[in-house]
Amino acid sequence: MADQNKTKIRCQNLSNVYKLPCPVYGKSAYEIEIEETFNDHPLSNATNASDFDMLSQNSEIIFIKPTNMTEAGINGLLKSSVYQLTSYPISNFQGVSLPKGNRIQFAEVSRWLNRISETRLATVYKKGSKSYYSLDAHVPQGKISHSFYHVNQKGMYNFFSQSNHGSIPANQIIPVKTLRYIKIGGRIFLVAAIIVDAGMLTSSAVKSYETGSYRPLAAQTVRTASSWAAAWAGAKAGVATGTMLGATTGPGIVICAIGGGIVGGLIGFMAGDWIGDKIEEGY
């Protein structure tokens, strides 16, 4: 429990550093610099470890990690792939107008969970019915012969004039190939984001155990939840904006989703990081 009579000194690891002789958050030493706003504090006059040790007797040292824009940007980029985990309303796809109630999704998560091959790049479906139209990419399986890039559809011939397992029209091949590459990259990013966050949460859990405080784990949980939630909201907003601006192809909608996810993930990371720091500080 922090001594309420001690002055709280906020510190950052900037250019000039001091080696702390006293523990900070359970560590034996940190390289830090007194925040510029505290230059008038006696600690700013410390020139060596002995001076710092003497002057810090009546102060509580708080290590503040400055928000790293590069780290926030990478976090947003990885989590921008969260767009694959949901579906979105759609009224126009590949230049075809669709009635109200249709949605689009870019992955079948249920197949991931069951470890079944998931090759569909985009699926438009009528909510509440079994009708669907999807762009698929795989070699023929069984006795059915078809092109690598082809259509799967049921009950939507009247809209797209394409039969089940029909080939993708030549003027749509490049966008469909682009969508496939984007999806492969997005899947890699999504897995990387999960692994990174799992590692950070595990590290924070160990730190909480070692220090006997719930704060490190609680703070990291807030950072993680905030960045994922904001990336999700950003992706949905990106799709809505893209649709409003006339993005009607699979790649166009996905790019809008990724852009929204990056912005949302970055903002969520920064907001969560700020809140997380406050939790660790004890405010």
139 has a pLDDT exceeding 70: yes
Residue ranges per structural domain of the chain: 7-63, 69-79+175-281, 88-173
Whether the pLDDT of residue 209 is over 60: the answer is yes
Tell me how crowded residue 254 is: count the other CB atoms within 10 A of its CB. 28
| Structure token digits, residue 30 | 């940190």
The predicted model gives 219-230 an average pLDDT of 91
How far, CA to CA in Å, does 123 sit from each of 89, 126, 152, 172?
Answer: 12, 10, 9, 15
Report the C-alpha gap between 189 and 52 in whole angstroms.
44
Residue with the larger pLDDT of the pair 221 and 50: 221
φ and ψ at 89, to 5 degrees?
-65, 145
Q: What is the pLDDT of residues 12-27, one digit of tens each?
A: 443 333 444 444 433 3
Rounded Cα distance between 223 and 171, Å, is 44
Q: CA-to-CA distance for 201 and 209, rounded, in angstroms? A: 12
Q: What pLDDT score was predicted for residue 65?
A: 53
Predicted TM-score (pTM) of the model is 0.70
Highest mean pLDDT among 13-22, 71-80, 273-282: 71-80
